[in-house]
Amino acid sequence: MANRGKGGAGRLAALIIGGILGAIGGLLLAPRSGKETREQLKARIEEMKEESREKYEEQRERLREVAAERGQELRGRIEDARERLVTGVETAAGAVKERIGRGAEKAEEAVEVGEERAKEELEEEE
């Protein structure tokens, strides 16, 4: 993608330079006085400068739009990744809670069994 941008800028520069050179060549070969030629050349250079400024502004605005679009896409991807991460953490936390709950139940059962055995042994000793 970066290549496309470079190629477009290179083509734009070549177009501008070619236009300027063509205008200069045409003006220099035209049968006019030196003063007329210089005035025409100056006017054409001003036109080309203005056209270049306009093209530059168009390209700059286009780049801003592309950057804004890419920024939006990136924000969307980040949000999706964040949501997946939150979901994964919540799932893992739920699994851990479930295991802890099962472990607590087993511990309670073991305590109850231990208490019953202790009671039985105390009753046998009496």
CA 92 to CA 100: how far, in whole Å? 12
Residue 3: pLDDT band with limits 50, 70, 90: very low
pLDDT tens track for 45-88: 898 889 889 999 999 999 999 999 999 999 999 999 999 999 99
Residue 126: pLDDT band with limits 50, 70, 90: low
CA distances to 13, 23, 107, 122 from 18, in Å: 8, 8, 87, 109
Which of 106, 103, 105, 110 is CA-nearest to residue 118?
110
Where are the chain's structural domains? 2-125
Q: Percent of the chain having pLDDT more than 70?
A: 87
Residue 38: pLDDT above 90? Answer: no
Which of 7, 6, 8, 15 is CA-nearest to residue 48?
15
CA distances to 8, 25, 64, 68, 73 from 61, in Å: 15, 33, 5, 11, 18
Classified as helix, coil or strand, 1 is coil
Mean pLDDT of the chain: 84
Query: CB of 41 within 8 A of CB of 27?
Result: yes
Higher pLDDT, 90 or 121: 90
DSSP secondary structure letter of residue 101: H
Answer yes or no: pTM beyond 0.85. Answer: no
